[in-house]
Amino acid sequence: MRRQWMAAVAVTVAGLLALTACGDGGGDGATQSPQADAKKKVEVFSWWTGPGEADGLKAMKEIFEKQNAGLEFFDAAVAGGSGDKARALLTTKLQAQTPPDTFQGHAGAELQGYIKAGQLEPLNFLYDELKLKDVFPQQLIDQISVEGQVYSVPVNIHRSNVMWFNPAVLKEAGVTEVPKTIPDFVAALEKVKQKGKIPLSIGSEWTMVHLLESVLLGSLGTDAYNRLWTAGSDWSGPAMTKALDDFKTILSYAGDPADDWQPAAKQVADGEAAFNIMGDWAYGYFHNPPDGGLGKTSKTDFDWAPSPGTGGTFMWLSDSFTLPKGAPNRDGAVAWLKVAASKEGQDAFNPKKGSIPARKDADTALYTDYLADALKDWGGDKLAGSIQHGVVVNDAWRVAINEAVGLFHGDKDVAALQKALAEAAKNSGQ
C-alpha cells in the first residue's frame, strides 16, 4: 500500500479540550499533586460512548483495575460515531504535545499519519513479551506494521458490510426473500416505500460514507474494489459511474438522517424502518439488555445478511490502541495495552461490543448468534477493507471522501461526486 502522512483536520472550536474529561473515572485529581495524579491515572482516549461499546469498555476497565490496583482508569471518551470528533480533538492534543496515555485508532491506513509524524512508539517489545504474533492473524499484523515495526494492539475485528432488517416490516411489504443483489435491494426498498414505512434508515454524514463503501463493494465486485487502493486505480471509468448511480438510487430511499447510527438502527428495531446498512457493532446495540442496549430478539425483532452484492466478502476493520510518544503515564499505558491484547480482555469486551476477537485463541463458546456467523465468515470469506473506518485510506483521504459525500447528499450530482472522489484518490499520497 502506498503510504504517506497527510495532516488531519485541525480543530479550532474553543473549549473542545474540555471534552477529554467526559465519561466515568474522573478521579480525585483536585486533591492530589499533578505529579501524583499523573502517576496514578491512565488516560484512555476513545470514542466508545454508546450502548454496547461503552459496556465493552467498562468490562475491560474492570479487568484493568483489578490487575493494576495502583492505577486509575481515566475514561477520556469523546462521543460521536466512527470517531470523527475524537480524532479531530486528538490532533489538537498531539500538536500541543499533550497526548493521552493511549488512544484508540483503526488498524490500517488511519494510523499512517501518526506514524509518519513520529507520534507513536513501536510496540515490538510488547509483541515479543506477550508472543502476540502467534495469536494475531498475519494479515492483521501486516496492516498495523510499517517496515517491520508494529504500532498498535488490535482489540477486535468488525464487519462493515452488514444489512440489518426488520422481518415483520419486510413481510408486511411483501418482500419474501432477503435481497442479495443491488437490483433486488432496490425492488425491496420500493415495496417498503409503497407501504408507508421508511425503506432505509440512515444517520449522520459518516453513515452515508459507510453505506457508500458497501455499495461500491456490491456494485464493483471484490477484486475491483480492492484495486481502488492500489497504484493506477480507476475512479473515473464507467464501472464507477454505475456504482455511484446505484448509490444515488439507494440513497433516494433513505429517511431523514438521524443524529447518529444508534437512532437510525433503532428505527429498524422498532419497526419504523425496513433496512439499515451498518457495521456489526449494531448487533451489541440491538441485542444487549435494556441497560446497555435495546434488549431485542434476533431473528424476530431484527435480522441480518451481507449488504447487497457483497455475499462471500468480509469488509473488515479493527479497533486498536496505541502508545503515544511522550505519554504522561507510559507504564500505565503499557498495562492497559496488555489488557487490550489479552484473551481475558478481548473475551470480556467483544461479546458486548458486537465484534469478534482479534486473537485466534478466544473462547468461541462466547460468540453465539450473529457473532458465530462473523467468526465463521472471517475465517472463510474474501477480505476487503473499510473506507470510513480507516483500513484502506488515511485520514486526509477519508475526510475528502466525507466532504464529497456530504455535498452529494445535497445536490445528488453523480458526475460531481465521481470527479471529487477521483481527485481525492489522486491527491491521497498513499
pLDDT at 36: 52
pLDDT at 356: 97
404-410 contacts: CB < 8 A, separation 24 or more? 405/205, 405/208, 405/209, 405/212, 406/205, 406/208, 408/248, 409/205, 409/208, 409/251
Instruction: Report yes or no: 278 and 389 within 8 Å, Cβ to Cβ.
Output: no
pLDDT at 26: 36
* C-alpha distances in Å from residue 346, one per residue of 41, 70, 76, 363, 383: 22, 22, 20, 10, 22
125 φ, ψ (degrees, to nearest 5)? -60, -40
Integer Cα distance of 206 and 406 in angstroms: 9
pLDDT at 16: 36
pLDDT at 347: 98
pLDDT at 37: 59
- In sequence order, the 6+-apart residues with CB closer than 8 A to the CB of 414 are 241, 244, 245, 248, 408
Per-residue pLDDT of the chain (430 residues; tens, 9 = 90+): 433 333 333 333 333 333 333 333 333 334 444 555 556 999 999 999 987 889 899 999 999 999 999 999 999 999 877 788 899 999 999 999 999 999 999 999 999 999 999 999 999 999 999 999 999 988 788 878 889 999 999 999 999 999 999 999 999 999 999 999 999 999 999 999 999 999 999 999 999 999 999 999 999 999 999 999 998 899 999 999 999 999 999 999 999 999 999 999 999 999 999 999 999 999 989 998 888 789 999 999 999 999 999 999 999 999 999 999 999 999 999 999 999 999 999 999 999 999 999 999 999 999 999 999 999 999 889 999 999 999 999 999 999 999 999 999 999 999 999 999 999 999 987 6
Integer Cα distance of 15 and 212 in angstroms: 33
- In sequence order, the 6+-apart residues with CB closer than 8 A to the CB of 227 are 233, 234
pLDDT at 52: 82
Instruction: Report yes or no: 63 and 344 within 8 Å, Cβ to Cβ.
Output: yes
pLDDT at 141: 87
